[in-house]
Amino acid sequence: MNKPLASIGLDADNFWSYKRTHGDADWVERPSYLPVLTERMITSFSKHQIKPSVFVVGADAAAADGPDFVQALTEYGCEIGSHSYEHEPWLHLYSPQELRDELKRTEDALQAAGAPKPRGFRAPGFAMSPDLMRALVELDYDYDCSVLATWIGPVARQYYLRTNKTLTKSEREDRKALFGSLWDAGLPNKPFTWKAPCCEVDGRTLPAVQLTEVPVTVFPMARVPIHASYVIYLSGYSVPVAKAYIKAALAFCKATGTQPSLLLHPLDLLDGSDAPGLEFFPGMNMPLGKKQEMLDFILEAFAKQYRLVNLAEHAESIKGIPVRERGIDVLARGREVNPAQPKN
C-alpha cells in the first residue's frame, strides 16, 4: 500500500537572525552557528533517511561559512529554497520593487554559493502578503510555503516582545504583525492554489496570478501548531503529553485528509551552549539529548504514516487542485500591506 505524502522543510535561521528579530543590538556582528548546524542536520537527516527542503537566508549564503553550508546540503540531496536575504519578518511592509529586489538578491547569493535557482520560498515570520505573492510569480517560483493557519501568532508575538524591554517604538512598529494575526486561522490548512485577482496599482493594471501554496500544517480544527519546536517545548513539561499530542495531530490529519508539511528549525538541533543568548527562545534550556530524542520521535511518527518528501515534490503533487478564489483578503487582514512609502 502506497503511503500518502508529507513534506519536511527546515528554515535555516542563523544565530544573528534570531537576535535581529528579538531586537538584540549585537545581531549586527552576524554571529553564526552554521558549521555546527551543518553536521547536526546531516546526521539527523541521514539517521531518518530524509532529504528535506532547507530554506536558506541570502546573507548567510554570502557569508564566509555560507558556501560550505549550502554545498554540504546540496551534495546531501536537500532542496535549497529561499528564505529572503536579510530575514526581516516584516516583508509585508516592503514595496513591490523592494520585494523583487530582495528575492533576486537572495537567488544570486544562493546560486553563487553553489545551489540551483530556488523554486520555493518561505517568508521569515510568515510575513506573506499579496505583493509578495505577485513578486514570486513574476520571478518564476513554483511554490510558496509561508502560511501558518493558526490563531496563536499574536500570543507568540507578545511573548517575544516581552522578553526584550529595550525595543524602540520604531522597532515595535516593525514587529506589530510578527507571526501573523488571529485572522490567519481562517486560511487553509491543506495545500491549495492562491488566486490574486486583476487589480489597479499606481495607475497600472496588474494581471491575475496563481501560486501553489503548501502551508505549514497545524492541528486540524484546533488550529494550534504542531511544528517540531512547539512539540519539543511541550516535552519540556511532559514527554508523554508531547508524544500523545503529535500522535493525535497525525490522527486528525488522516481523518481530515490533510497531507501534512512539517516545519523544523535550527534550534531543534541546538542547545544553549551552541547559541548563548537565545535563552529566551522556548526549549533552549533543554539538554540537547532530550531535544534530539523528541525530534527523533516526531520524525518516526511521521514516517510511519507518510512518505516523507521535500516541499518541491509535495507542491508538484498538488498541481491542478481547485483554485482558492478567497483567502487573499484574509492574508492581508492584521497586516499593513502596500504602504505608501517604501520600507527601506
156-198 pLDDT, tens digit per residue, is: 888 888 888 788 888 888 888 888 888 889 889 999 888 766 6
Q: Which amino acid is at 238?
A: S
Instruction: Determine the pLDDT at residue 174.
Output: 83
Residue 242: inside a domain: no
Asked whether 132 and 93 are in contact (CB, 8 A), the reply is no
Residue 150: inside a domain: yes
Q: Report the DSSP beta bridge partners of residue 199.
A: 206
Crossing angle between the packed helical segments 239-255 and 228-235, to the nearest 10 degrees: 140
Average pLDDT over residues 248-275: 96
* pLDDT greater than 60 at residue 336: no
Closest CA to 193 of 250, 142, 263: 142
* pLDDT greater than 80 at residue 55: yes
pLDDT bin (cut points 50, 70, 90) of residue 344 is very low
Q: Report the DSSP beta bridge partners of residue 308.
A: 6
C-alpha cell at 74: 546540496
Q: What is the pLDDT of residues 88-105, one digit of tens each?
A: 999 988 998 999 999 999
Number of domains composing the chain: 1
CB proximity list for 240: less than 8 A, separation 6 or greater: none
Residue 280: inside a domain: no
Residue 138: inside a domain: yes
Residue 135: inside a domain: yes
For the chain, where are the alpha helices, taking DSSP H only? 15-22, 34-48, 58-61, 66-76, 96-112, 130-138, 153-162, 169-174, 228-235, 239-255, 288-305, 311-317, 328-332
CB proximity list for 222: less than 8 A, separation 6 or greater: 252
CATH number for the domain spanning 101: value is: 3.20.20.370
Q: What is the pLDDT of residues 113-148, one digit of tens each?
A: 999 999 999 999 998 888 898 899 999 999 999 999
Residue 179: inside a domain: yes
CB proximity list for 274: less than 8 A, separation 6 or greater: 33, 36, 288
Asked whether 232 and 263 are in contact (CB, 8 A), the reply is no
Residue 126: inside a domain: yes
Enclosing domain of residue 63: 5-218+309-332
**Its pTM surpasses 0.75:** yes
Q: State the Cα torsion 123-157-326-227 to the nearest 10°.
A: 60
Judging by beta carbons within 10 Å of its beta carbon (0-12, 13-18, 19+), is residue 241 exposed, middle or buried?
exposed
Instruction: Determine the pLDDT at residue 342.
Output: 43
Q: Which amino acid is at 145?
A: C
